[in-house]
Structure 1
Amino acid sequence: MKHTIKNSHISLVTFNYGATIQQLIVKDKNGNDINVVLGFETEEDYKNNPFYIGASIGRYAGRISQGGFSLNGTDYKLHQENGVHLHGGRNGLNKKNWKLEKAETEGESPFVTYAVTSPDLEEGYPGTLKVSVTYRLTGNSLKITYEATTDKTTVINLTNHAYFNLEGRNSILNHELELNSEVFVELDDKLLPTGDFLPVKGTSYDFLSPEVIGAKPGFSGIDDVFVLKGQDPAATLYSPETGIEMKVSTNQRATVVFTPEDLGTTEFLNGTRYGNFSSICFEAQTFPDAPNKPDFPSAVLEPGETYRNETVLQFNVR
């Protein structure tokens, strides 16, 4: 089922399947409407969505090694492919029909809230997990809030997997990117964390000052975990063509930045076609494989606690 909320600045269209963002429409410098996210035509199209486009990801976003993890002396086995458990498994939260919990479509701060329950040991994870996501428009910003509670000690890492393109077509190679991150997580050839952290200085991951993505020396695509300095914005994306600027703020410790080179020949909403490096993702979250890395910040959620992931996307023109 499709739901639309809008104010005088932004229009957001979501599906309850996967609590998915289909469209996010903002004005460019000429007052034209631009859909700044990649989306498919129908909700049915999202049931074959290997790139998780627009979806809510969990129970654990990112990768977990070793086919599972141990928690309080108990081993929990997870689905793995080539030694990697990805984005919550075969049937993660992105493949669930979330329930529309409440919505308010009028006024300057409309919102829609979806909720879903993941039973104990679903996909191997302990605890009955109750999850909600609220998409709220306030002025020229979209705030995405994930909350979760559990009845057993568990691990959790939720995020949204929207793919952004501030021109609504072509690629993001001429977008400017700034990342408020001095350190990134070293990954092995399976994109699993080694446990080490490396400085961005002097590497193709140094976006401490705004740089045109496609002109960055050594750029060959990004699929990496950036440690955030805790100062907002975490990231700023800007399209000189449309004049649209997006600032990303979050309460999370890290963001995965992903620039897919090729999403295949998929046709998107309204027949839109994109080139290579069509889009960029900012997957705000904690560190991947934290359940197997005792030196990483804990991803454990205890009964009585509330997990909360808040990310704000603010749009301006310049």
Structure 2
Amino acid sequence: MKHSIKNAHIGLNTFNYGATIQQLLIKDKNGNDVNVVLGFDKEEDYYDNPFYLGASIGRYAGRISQGGFSLNGDHFALHQENGVHLHGGKNGLNKKHWQLESMEQDTDTPFITYSVTSPHLEEGYPGNLKVSVTYRLVGNRLEIAYEATTDKATVLNLTNHAYFNLEGKDSVLNHELKLSSKTFVELDKKLLPTGDFLFVKDSAYDFLNPEIIGNKPGFSGIDDVFVLNGEGLAAILYSPETGIEMKVATNQRAMVIYTPEDLGERNFVNGANYGNFSSICFEAQTFPDAPNQPNFPSAVLQPGEVYSNKTILEFGIR
């Protein structure tokens, strides 16, 4: 089912399937609405969504190695393909019909809240997990807040998988990108963390100073885990064509930046057409494979604790 909220600055459309962002309407420098996220026309289109467009990802965003993990002396086996468990498994939270908990349009800060319960050992994860996400419009900001509780110790890493294009068409190669990250996670050929960190300086991932994405020497796409320099501003994306600027802030330790080369032929909302490198994801989260990487910050959630993942997308015209 589709739900919509808006204020003077932003319009948001979501589906309860996967607690998915379908459209995010922002006014460009000429006052025209631009849908700055990639979305499909109908909710049913998301049933076949291998790229997780717009979806809420869990129980564990990113990759887990070794076919599972051990916690408090118990081993938990997870679904894997080619030795990799990805984005919560075969039927992660992105494939659930979330419940509409509450929705308010007639307020200065309209919001939509969805919730879902994942039972003990679903997809192999321990604990009965209760998750909620709230999408709230505050002035020129979209605030995304995930919260979760469990009745058994478990591992958790939630994120939103929206794909951004500030022109609503073509590609992001002409977008300007700035990342507040000095280091990134070294990955192996299966895109699993090695446990080591590398400096972005003098690499293809150095966006400490704003750069046009397609002008980056040797650019061949990004699919990497960036270590954030601290709570606050993580990234800035800007389109010279529309004048729209998006600032991304989060309370998370890391952010996966992903620029898919080719999403294939898809039924995009309003017949939008995209080319290669159509979009960019800002997946705020903790580190992938943290359950198997002793040097990474813990991703364990204990009973009595409340997991919190907050991301703020602030829009303006430059």
- TM-score class, shorter-chain normalisation, is over 0.9
Query: So what's the TM-score if we normalise by structure 2?
Result: 0.99
Residue 154 (structure 2) aligns with = 154
User: How far 1:231 moved relative to its partner?
Assistant: 4.8
The residue number in structure 1 matching 2:260 is 260
Q: CA shift at 1:23, angstroms?
A: 0.2
- Name the residue aligned to 1:22: 22
Q: Which amino acid aligns with 1:120?
A: H
The one-letter code matched in structure 1 to 2:92 is: G
Task: For 1:236-247, list aligned pairs within 5 A.
Answer: 236-247=236-247
Tell me which residue corresponds to 2:214: 214
Moved beyond 3 Å, runs of 4+: none
The Cα of 1:134 is off from its aligned counterpart by: 0.2
Deviation string 1:209-234 (CA, Å, 9 cap, x unpaired) is 00000000121000000000015310
| C-alpha separation in 2, matches of 1:293 and 1:232 | 25
Corresponding residue number in structure 1 for 2:133 = 133
Matched residue count: 318
Unaligned runs of 5+ in 2: none
1:41 is displaced (CA, Å) by: 0.4
Q: What is the alpha-carbon root mean square deviation over aligned residues?
A: 0.5
1:226 and 2:226 matched: yes
Quote the offset at 1:267 in angstroms: 2.7
Shift of 1:259: 0.1
Give structure 1 stretches of 5+ with no counterpart.
none
2:9 is aligned to 9
Conserved? CA contact 1:6–1:12, under 8 Å: yes
Q: How does 1:113-192 map to 2 (within 5 A)?
A: 113-192=113-192
* Mapped partners of 1:161, 1:295: distance in 2: 26
> 2:100 matched to which residue of 1?
100
Deviation per CA, 1:152-185, whole angstroms, max 9, x where unpaired?
A: 0000000000000000000000000000000000
What is aligned with 1:300?
300
Determine the structure 1 residue equivalent to 2:48: 48
Residue of structure 2 equivalent to 1:282: 282
Query: For the Cα contact (< 8 Å) 2:55–2:160, is it kept in 1?
Result: yes
| Residue type at the aligned position of 2:40 | F
Partner AA of 2:235 in structure 1: A
Q: Is the 8 A contact 2:131 2:146 kept in 1?
A: yes
Pairwise CA distance, 1:108 = 2.2
Q: Is the 8 A contact 2:231 2:252 kept in 1?
A: no
- Indicate the percent of aligned positions where both proteins have the same amino acid: 76
1:224-260 alpha-carbon deviations (Å, 9 max, x no partner): 0000001531000000000000000000000000000
TM-superposed deviation, 1:63: 0.1
2:232/2:251 contact within 8 Å kept = no
Higher alpha-carbon deviation: 266-275 or 115-124? 266-275
Asked if 1:310 corresponds to 2:315, the answer is: no
Instruction: Look up the SS of the partner of 1:234 in the other structure.
Output: strand
SS in 2 for 1:26: strand
1:50 maps to a residue whose letter is P
Task: Name the CA distance, whole Å, in 2 between partners of 1:92 and 1:267.
Answer: 23
TM-score relative to the length of structure 1? 0.99
Q: Which residue of 1 aligns with 2:90?
A: 90
